[in-house]
A and B are shown apart, each in its own frame.
Chain A
Amino acid sequence: MIVEELAFAVLAATAVLTSIAALLVRELVHTIMWVAIFFVDLAAIYFLLQAPFLGVLQLGVYAGAVTILLLFGIMTTRKRIFSREAATGIGPIPFGLAVVTFIFLVAAIGEFPQGSTAVTVYDPTALSANLFTVNGPWLLLLGVIMLAAIAGAIYLVREGRE
């Protein structure tokens, strides 16, 4: 389908460009804006992959909650939220390492069966049934880790701790 392939090409290019922009701009608030666009863009890719539940989850958790949390982090740690970061160089070694990682992973694509096969459409009901039965232990583990994380975060930010 030419329309879907075109949509994917645009969304993929936007994802790469916005993630690079998020890491390279010097104003932290602009970073948050770029990263919000990146999260929404990825949600659109999930919708394209016929995973609407995950798309909505991405919009709610990432584009909504994580973005606002990061914005609060900026607001509480600086006097002027639009102040600029000191310029940090790109650095040849990290850049080279990132390029090598990318080439290594792309070289592994040859191992996969090539071509375009049909995307499977999953019913959200079947997904939730799977999530609470077969993969229930993962969900329980997530709950336990979240509880520990809440306790840890409260301990970290409470007043009077030296």
Chain B
Amino acid sequence: MTTLPEVGFVALSAALLAIGLFGILTRRNFILLLIAIEIGMNAAILNFIYFAAYSSGTAGLTGQSIAVVLIGFAATEVAVGLGIVLALNRIKGTINVAQAAELKL
């Protein structure tokens, strides 16, 4: 039977979310931005799996099922994000998000 420290997982998840948030706010390269979003999403997925591991029955299985769906969502988001990267690179010649400011007022 496995026993693990409960506090550690929530702290790790919080740390990963904070790192992802920091990356989203500071990085200007679109690919780095995508990676920062992925780190934040992994924090959420870890939380789902952690709480599923400490639940039992259908509640835990639902947590793991949602984690499976979230991994799919994250992969989809990367695919669309890279489509935007390629389009941005073709139109602007750069993937710096600071250069893509046409929609700014």
A interface, CB within 8 angstroms of B = 1, 4-5, 8-9, 12, 15-16, 19-20, 22-23, 28, 31, 35, 38-39, 42, 45-46, 48-51, 53-54, 57-58, 61-62, 65-66, 69-70, 72-74, 76-77, 85, 88-91, 93-95, 97-99, 101-102, 105-106, 108-109, 112-122, 126-127, 130-131, 134-135, 138-139, 141-142, 145-146, 149-150, 152-154, 156-157, 161
Further contacts, 12 of them, CB under 8 A, given A73-B82, A97-B21, A120-B55: A31-B31, A35-B39, A46-B46, A51-B52, A66-B74, A73-B85, A85-B29, A95-B22, A114-B7, A127-B65, A142-B72, A154-B83
A-B contact pairs, 5 of them (CB 8 A): A48-B2, A85-B32, A90-B26, A105-B17, A127-B61
Interface of A is mostly: helix
Interface residue from A118, A138, A146 paired with B3 (Cβ < 8 Å): A118
Q: Is the CB of A50 within 8 A of B53?
A: yes
B interface residues with partner A (beta carbon < 8 Å) = 1-23, 25-29, 31-32, 34-36, 38-39, 42, 46, 49-50, 52-56, 58, 60-62, 64-69, 71-80, 82-87, 89, 95
Query: Of the candidates B18, B54, B67, B74, which one forms a contact with A101 in the assembled complex, judged by CB atoms under 8 Å apart?
Result: B18
